[in-house]
């Protein structure tokens, strides 16, 4: 008959002293149980690595959020700039429309004044009203009833100039604003403009060829403007000298 023995289990006795009584107590610790429940401690290195990964991810999210904010700021600035341009464009268009309405109003007032004047003098003529650049333009033209009397133009357009000034005064009294309207009668200014353009071209060619300045005959303000525009288009410079009625233009070489 054989004896069966259970495997030996090593035990250890830990002695401790009770702080209150001073008596020693002992605790039996099963070494096998200790070995079964032992867990690996967490390493500081592992915790630090995880923390760094979390910080980097957070930093990346903040960077992306910052870029998105910058993009929104750029878009907002661009939108504000576009809105400003749109407002400026609308304002400019509004000012132009307002100015055109003012000039049209000047033309209407001038037409009423001249129509009354023609009726009082029992003279024939129709009225054409327009806007030419930054001026109201009005013309007395031949009608079906008869031609406009050329005496309304006068010698060298002097009567025409006087009627123009009277009409400007009538408009100023009605609107409260100084008028620069242009009056033409029987096509006199249109014909005179064509003649002045040809005169200016000849004088410009002489100045360019000789290299010396050239003085022209005395002219009205309307006539001088026509010549000034033609000289400027040719790349030269012109000046007005003297006092009316002897004020004239001098064309200078380049």
For residue 199, what is the domain's CATH number? 3.30.1370.50
Confidence of residue 89 (pLDDT cuts 50, 70, 90): confident
Please name the residues in contact with 184: beta carbons below 8 A apart, sequence gap of 6 or more. 137, 138, 139, 140, 160, 190
Question: Residue 3 has what pLDDT?
Answer: 47
Question: Residue 245 has what pLDDT?
Answer: 86
Do 180 and 222 share a structural domain?
A: no
Distance CA 125, CA 138 (A): 12
Which of 186, 209, 235 is the last residue before a domain boundary? 186
Question: What mean pLDDT is reported for the chain?
Answer: 79
- Residue 28: is its pLDDT beyond 80? no
Taking residue 228's Cβ as centre, other Cβ atoms within 10 Å add up to 17
**How distant, in Å, are the alpha carbons of 39, 81, 178, 179, 247 from that of 139?**
111, 46, 19, 16, 26
Question: Residue 6 has what pLDDT?
Answer: 46
- Are 126 and 142 spatial neighbours (Cβ–Cβ below 8 Å)? yes
- Residue 127: is its pLDDT beyond 90? yes
Confidence of residue 84 (pLDDT cuts 50, 70, 90): low
Q: Is there a domain that residue 57 lies in?
A: no
What is the domain count for the chain? 2
Q: What digits encode the pLDDT tens for the residues 96-121?
A: 788 889 999 999 999 999 999 999 99
Question: Residue 59 has what pLDDT?
Answer: 58
Percent of the chain's residues with pLDDT above 90: 53
Percent of the chain's residues with pLDDT above 70: 66
Three-state DSSP at 254 gives: coil
Confidence of residue 25 (pLDDT cuts 50, 70, 90): very low
Question: Residue 12 has what pLDDT?
Answer: 44
Q: What digits encode the pLDDT tens for the residues 169-217?
A: 999 999 999 999 999 999 999 899 999 999 999 999 999 999 999 999 9
For 13, counting Cβ atoms within 10 Å of its Cβ (0-12 exposed, 13-18 middle, 19+ buried), the class is exposed
Q: Is there a domain that residue 2 lies in?
A: no
Token pair recorded at residue 86: 């749109």
Q: Which domain holds residue 245?
A: 189-252
Question: Residue 132 has what pLDDT?
Answer: 87
Question: Residue 65 has what pLDDT?
Answer: 58
Which of 167, 186, 205 is the last residue before a domain boundary? 186
Token pair recorded at residue 206: 């002489």
Question: Residue 133 has what pLDDT?
Answer: 84
Q: What digits encode the pLDDT tens for the residues 134-170?
A: 899 999 999 888 899 999 999 988 999 999 999 999 9
For 174, counting Cβ atoms within 10 Å of its Cβ (0-12 exposed, 13-18 middle, 19+ buried), the class is middle
Which CATH number belongs to the domain containing residue 134 in this structure? 3.30.300
Question: Residue 54 has what pLDDT?
Answer: 57
- Residue 10: is its pLDDT beyond 80? no
Question: Residue 218 has what pLDDT?
Answer: 94
Do 72 and 174 share a structural domain?
A: yes
Question: Residue range 249-254: average pLDDT?
Answer: 94
């Amino acid at each position: 008959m054989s004896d069966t023995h259970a495997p030996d289990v090593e035990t250890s006795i830990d002695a401790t002293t009770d702080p209150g009584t001073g008596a020693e107590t002992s605790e039996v610790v099963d070494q096998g149980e200790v070995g079964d429940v032992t867990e690996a401690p967490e390493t500081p290195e592992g915790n630090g690595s995880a923390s760094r990964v979390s910080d980097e991810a957070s930093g990346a999210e903040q960077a992306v959020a910052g870029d998105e904010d910058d993009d929104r700021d750029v878009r907002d600035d661009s939108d504000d700039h576009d809105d400003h341009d749109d407002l400026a464009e609308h304002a400019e268009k509004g000012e132009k429309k307002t100015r055109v309405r003012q000039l049209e109003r000047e033309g209407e007032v001038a037409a009423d004044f001249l129509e009354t004047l023609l009726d009082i003098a029992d003279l024939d003529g129709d009225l054409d009203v327009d806007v030419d650049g930054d001026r109201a333009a009005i013309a007395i033209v031949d009608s079906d009833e008869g031609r406009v009397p050329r005496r309304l133009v006068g010698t060298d357009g002097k009567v025409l100039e006087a009627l123009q000034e009277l009409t400007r005064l009538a408009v100023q009294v009605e609107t409260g604003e100084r008028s620069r309207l242009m009056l033409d009668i029987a096509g006199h200014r249109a014909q005179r403009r064509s003649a002045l353009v040809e005169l200016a071209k000849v004088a410009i060619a002489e100045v360019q060829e000789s290299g010396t300045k050239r003085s022209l005959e005395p002219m009205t303000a309307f006539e001088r403007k026509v010549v000034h525009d033609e000289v400027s288009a040719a790349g030269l410079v012109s000046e007005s000298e003297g006092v009316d009625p002897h004020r004239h233009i001098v064309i200078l070489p380049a």
